[in-house]
Amino acid sequence: MKKRKSVRKKSKYSGRKYKRYRKGFWERYKGQRKWKYTRCILEVKRLLDNKPDPYTVRPPNTVGRPPANPKDILIFLMFKQLFCLSYIDTESFLLWVCGERMWLMETVPDANTVQEHISDIPLTYLEDMLKETIRCLNDNDVTVIIDATGLSLNQYGRWMNVRNGKKKMKKRFVKIHLAVDRDSGKILVGICSKGWKHEHKFGVRIVKSLRRSFSKHGKNIKAELLDVGYLSREMTDEIEKSKAKPYVKMKKNSITRSKGSPSWKRNIRFQKEQPDDFMKEFCYRVVIEGIISALKKMFGSVISSKKRHNQNVEVLCRLVLWNCMH
């Protein structure tokens, strides 16, 4: 009798379609990821070298334990957010990365020391770092997209339960309001607030901040795209003060009555009379949705700090790291 030939079962990753699963691709992919983080770390180091210390410490050769370098504290926090580690794990990770050379910092600060000094880091210092990361924008007119998202304060809490829950449940998250450049994907402005605060007030603050920073660098804003949650006459007036065109989605019951705001009338009439032209520009609002999703996948959707100032520091560190990667 002839022996029956055994038929080997084909792998689902075999064939031309799945070339990306081969060994060589993963080595190249890991190399690209490693270079991405290395470039980000070196960019953060360069920004800090060109700036003064975040806060002042007592002078050297005084009585007591030598104080930790403020810039080392900030690098420690950047590493913690970049690799989503705890304070103790970040300390051991930095000791392993730096080794005996200490090329990144003078000395690796203790985890408890970092926790004590987070409150000393001013928010304006991190906001200035964020502004320095967007100086390389092109000279053309910039299209800005504004939106907000929530970050949980409870590691095991679900966002849907928090969003639709009772008042006590709503205190378990914070909200970040972002303004993003459509072409480069960089974050221009970021503001952190309590989760139950409405977006409109912070949207107006973002528009005013953008107007000040862009006029300082001699650049122009072409258009600003906003969701229906930011719709108001005050918002359209502030956008037109920046010499930009407002693309704010209207509601079903919106009327063209100006009530002293001609920019509101122009915005609503443009949507009703030329809906196709409006959607040609407004459809790019999906860019910020993708950036928010990538931001949460990279740094996580949970904030570990409980104090308001420390939460703001964590959020701004993530935004600075995002811009350094792009």
- pLDDT tens, position by position, 142-155: 899 999 998 888 76
Assign residue 141 a region (left: φ > 0; alpha: ψ between -120 and 50; beta: otherwise): beta
Q: Based on the domain organization, do 151 and 259 belong to the same domain?
A: yes
Confidence of residue 107 (pLDDT cuts 50, 70, 90): confident
Beta bridge pairs of residue 310: none
Host H or E run for residue 248: strand 245-248
Q: Based on the domain organization, do 151 and 195 belong to the same domain?
A: yes
Q: Which domain covers residue 211, as residue numbers?
A: 123-305
* Tokens standing for residue 182: 């459509």
Q: Based on the domain organization, do 157 and 45 belong to the same domain?
A: no
Q: Based on the domain organization, do 171 and 298 belong to the same domain?
A: yes
Q: Based on the domain organization, do 40 and 136 belong to the same domain?
A: no
Exposed (0-12), middle (13-18) or buried (19+): which is 277, by Cβ within 10 Å? Answer: exposed
Q: Based on the domain organization, do 131 and 115 belong to the same domain?
A: no
Per-residue pLDDT of 265-293, as tens digits, reads 888 899 899 989 999 999 999 999 999 99
Q: Based on the domain organization, do 226 and 182 belong to the same domain?
A: yes
Q: Based on the domain organization, do 288 and 139 belong to the same domain?
A: yes
**What predicted TM-score, i.e. pTM, was given to this entire model?**
0.84
Q: Which amino acid is at 202?
A: F
* Nearest by Cα to 122 from 318, 253, 313, 315: 313
Residue 95 lies in a domain: yes
- Give yes or no for residue 117 having a pLDDT over 70: yes
Q: Is the distance from CB of 185 to CB of 145 less than 8 angstroms?
A: no
Average pLDDT over residues 7-20: 57
Q: How far apart (Å, rounded) are the C-alpha atoms in residues 204 and 235?
A: 6
Q: How far apart (Å, rounded) are the C-alpha atoms in residues 9 and 34?
A: 36
- Give yes or no for residue 316 having a pLDDT over 90: yes
Q: Based on the domain organization, do 218 and 87 belong to the same domain?
A: no
- Give yes or no for residue 218 having a pLDDT over 90: no
* Nearest by Cα to 157 from 11, 316, 303: 303
Model pLDDT, residue 145: 94
47-51, 64-68, 151-155, 250-254 — most confident range: 47-51
* Nearest by Cα to 52 from 136, 134, 121: 121
- Give yes or no for residue 237 having a pLDDT over 80: yes
Q: Based on the domain organization, do 145 and 275 belong to the same domain?
A: yes
Residue pointed to by tokens 């580690």: 85
3-state secondary structure of 227: coil
Q: Is the distance from CB of 36 to CB of 325 less than 8 angstroms?
A: yes
